[in-house]
Chains A and B, each alone.
Chain A
């Protein structure tokens, strides 16, 4: 700040004209910033931080939509959070219905880390694709996840908010935002077109998580023996996978996973027994306590203080599917009530939100939270159903419930 320096150009030997001076200024500063931006792009590419890295499965699923709308069979789509992802087996669903002579192709559109705000934009893209091809979804099942709709969840999403938005919204939607908030709109277009949808906040959040991992995961510790056994069984399951799927191809399987994934019938008795052992050492009381704490901290899972904006966006999701579906069902997925105990006040708030959603959409929400078919042993943690146990039981239940409309 050496402000004693003369900032006037008037006494120079050959004074520069304004055009020359500011031309030089724009060139120098513009080049400097452009090079800075370019180097960031290179670093991000080097780190694998791109739309694929940020929203891998979501990006894949969006890219698969043109293929999905051309499926010859009736399309069934289960749309929701990571609980949907873990709890619904499309291949079992399709195979069991095929035995009844019903040819359907079902897709698991369950994604972790997407709250209803982001899901709303994703569901618009799905609806756009079906409208464009004049195709209807035979059955759309939409998960209402209470703890994805809380204020805590919304606040925790702030570092990724704008990045995800630029990945999921189209330019018209960004322009709508710009019309009401020019500052935000320009920022979003900047992130989308100058930063490849990776915002500075997202990068900071990534490094923060790497440098300072969340504390809740480490509050309760298992014995070293159990930890070692967990590692051994995990490696063993990896080896069994290689043995049982020798022709595994990632990209093909990924699409198939949306229509399938692995099912117990394909696995050997020995592998299923290893899975039993694996669940025994990964579902210890300490692991469950840590997971519960993490859910309380990151999603307010027991108090459920809802964020009204997220509830509104959830209503939009249903409306988006109503545009392109013959049947829409909304449900709350099974809840691990052994570990997650919502308070009476939370239950009241939940009832009010359910009522609001039902009134806004005209659809009665199904409560699958405490199904007798699902036991506490069928969860892999405090919220997600486990593979070959919970997902199969729940998929069976869904087949039973909806086979008549398919």
Chain B
């Protein structure tokens, strides 16, 4: 069940009737959220519900055990068990086939004829999100940052909370559990803001589905295509993945607001970033901060002179988190490399003035370089394999005059650029000035009607969300 489908609309309408009119007290509300979330998840594949609930139950009891453990040594053993369980789930469902295939290919390259049978298991939707969320709870309890919660149902309800269950943002236990413990009745202004985010998310998702067409044209071309069409495709993919993922999380945040929950921001106009480090402060914030707090810091962070290694390793694993393929590893490594390079250059005296300057020209240069690097990164992310990625990157930089662009190529390029810019302007406005709009009821509802109308009017068949596969 995904947010931009009629089935979700009717599910949510029925859910709201129970939530707002029948289950008015705290405990029944929590039960309703749990049941609603499991129905939401089960609509995709009910056979994976035990995995979701089981993962939550295990971490709930492990957190209790960590808290009660008499020695640090014992606490460490319990938290290790939690890490092994959660990462084990990911390893089996997400990475086993990738590992088997890679070993098989390696052996073949070395001259051994080896064909290892893969598991071929279905990847449970949202597994990368809820395992990380659950893991953050046991690690926080282990570190003493929070106490374990008493309410088992509250914990499982928070873990499976349907707005964020399948594609994030990755919520910290410390953020969502107190809200689940005392569910607040939202203000109408918060509900309006939620509806604004849902509408903005729908617009972004609709645009993303349309951008998928030029993106596919470039990444799945059966023959040579022109440099202009290739750049259009890469740019379209950048717009598609942003619209798709940030659109989904906007809707998640909006739906949660209507239910009285606040979910932190996951994107902050990322393509306006002025450096690769800045990009990661704006892109999939809940993942980048998770990786920073639970991986980068655990590796030693900036200390011991190992920053380069730690940054690189964190980005590499961050890439692998997105998918079990070498292209994702390469994407992570590429970002690790450009962040490391940024740190290095920032330390050079020759760049110090440039780095500190905030004039528009310098900012424009910084932005252009960053955006270019991000686009190159997306080639690894979107390509079918590493060879294709390298080919595409090469062809992006070779002006091949023998291949003519298709009809309307320039128009499509301009429209793609325009859409990516428009979405960012819209996001910027929503972050900075939504309250002004919300204070003008007629204008607000008129714009919402127009926004909903546009999304109902046009659409493309590919309505799956890209991040579901992660």
Interfacial residues, chain A to chain B (CB-CB below 8 A)? 1-3, 5-10, 12, 15-16, 18-19, 21-26, 28-29, 32-33, 35-37, 39-40, 43, 158-159, 161, 182-183, 186-187, 189-190, 195, 199-201, 203-204, 207-208, 211-213, 215, 218
- Given contact pairs A159-B461, A187-B5, A212-B408, A5 touches B193 in the complex (Cβ within 8 A): yes
Given contacts A18-B21, A186-B7, 12 further A-B contacts (CB under 8 A): A1-B431, A1-B434, A2-B431, A7-B262, A8-B186, A10-B185, A24-B188, A25-B258, A32-B445, A186-B6, A204-B458, A207-B458
- Report if B187 contacts A (CB, 8 A): yes
- Given contact pairs A36-B452, A200-B457, A204-B210, A212 touches B412 in the complex (Cβ within 8 A): yes
- Report if B10 contacts A (CB, 8 A): yes
A199 to B7, CA, bound (A): 15
Residues of B within 8 A of A218 (CB): 407
Task: List 7 interface pairs A-B (beta carbons < 8 Å), by A numbering.
Answer: A1-B253, A22-B20, A26-B20, A36-B452, A183-B7, A186-B6, A203-B458
A189 to B5, CA, bound (A): 12
- Of all chain B residues, the one with the shortest Cβ separation from A198 is B457
- Of all chain B residues, the one with the shortest Cβ separation from A39 is B453
Query: Residue B264 contacts which of A3, A5, A22, A24 (CB distance < 8 angstroms)?
Result: A3
A102 to B230, CA, bound (A): 64
Per-residue 0/1 for B416-443: is the Cβ within 8 Å of any A Cβ (1 yes, 0 no)?
A: 0000000000000011001100000000
B184 and A7 within 8 A (CB): yes
A200 to B187, CA, bound (A): 34
Residues of B within 8 A of A204 (CB): 210, 458-460
Instruction: Please provide the 3 A-B residue pairs with the shortest distance between their CB atoms, ordered closest to farther.
Output: A22-B20, A200-B459, A7-B190
Interface SS majority for chain A? helix
Q: Which of B17, B431, B453 lies at the interface centre, i.e. has the most chain A CB atoms within 10 A of its CB? A: B453
Interface size on B, residues (CB 8 A): 58
A383 to B435, CA, bound (A): 61
Residues of A within 8 A of B51 (CB): none
Instruction: Report B80 CB to chain A, min CB distance, Å.
Output: 35
Query: Residue A1 contacts which of B188, B197, B412, B448 (CB distance < 8 angstroms)?
Result: B197
Query: Residue A201 contacts which of B20, B193, B460 (CB distance < 8 angstroms)?
Result: B460
A201 to B457, CA, bound (A): 9
Query: Residue B7 contacts which of A10, A182, A207 (CB distance < 8 angstroms)?
Result: A182
Instruction: Report B452 CB to chain A, min CB distance, Å.
Output: 4
Q: Which of B185, B261, B448 lies at the interface centre, i.e. has the most chain A CB atoms within 10 A of its CB? A: B185
B7 and A40 within 8 A (CB): no
B457 and A40 within 8 A (CB): yes
- Of all chain B residues, the one with the shortest Cβ separation from A195 is B456
B1 and A183 within 8 A (CB): yes
Residues of B within 8 A of A21 (CB): 20, 185-186, 188, 191
Residues of A within 8 A of B24 (CB): 18
Residues of B within 8 A of A25 (CB): 16, 20, 188, 191, 258
A194 to B330, CA, bound (A): 46
Query: Residue B453 contacts which of A19, A26, A40, A213 (CB distance < 8 angstroms)?
Result: A40
A213 to B197, CA, bound (A): 35
- Report if B387 contacts A (CB, 8 A): no
A186 and B406 within 8 A (CB): no
A237 to B261, CA, bound (A): 69
- Report if B195 contacts A (CB, 8 A): yes
Instruction: Report A50 CB to chain B, min CB distance, Å.
Output: 15
- Given contact pairs A8-B184, A24-B188, A19 touches B459 in the complex (Cβ within 8 A): no
Residues of B within 8 A of A212 (CB): 407-408, 411-412
Within 8 A of A (CB), among B177-228: 184-191, 193, 195, 197, 210, 213
- Report if B107 contacts A (CB, 8 A): no
- Of all chain A residues, the one with the shortest Cβ separation from B25 is A18
A21 to B187, CA, bound (A): 8
Query: Residue B456 contacts which of A9, A23, A36, A187 (CB distance < 8 angstroms)?
Result: A36
A8 and B260 within 8 A (CB): yes
Residues of B within 8 A of A24 (CB): 188
Instruction: Report B39 CB to chain A, min CB distance, Å.
Output: 11
- Of all chain A residues, the one with the shortest Cβ separation from B249 is A1
- Report if B449 contacts A (CB, 8 A): yes
Instruction: Report B414 CB to chain A, min CB distance, Å.
Output: 13
Residues of B within 8 A of A6 (CB): 187, 190
A3 and B265 within 8 A (CB): yes
- Report if B43 contacts A (CB, 8 A): yes
A8 and B185 within 8 A (CB): yes
- Report if B238 contacts A (CB, 8 A): no
Query: Residue B407 contacts which of A3, A33, A35, A213 (CB distance < 8 angstroms)?
Result: A213
- Report if B159 contacts A (CB, 8 A): no
B407 and A201 within 8 A (CB): no
B264 and A2 within 8 A (CB): no
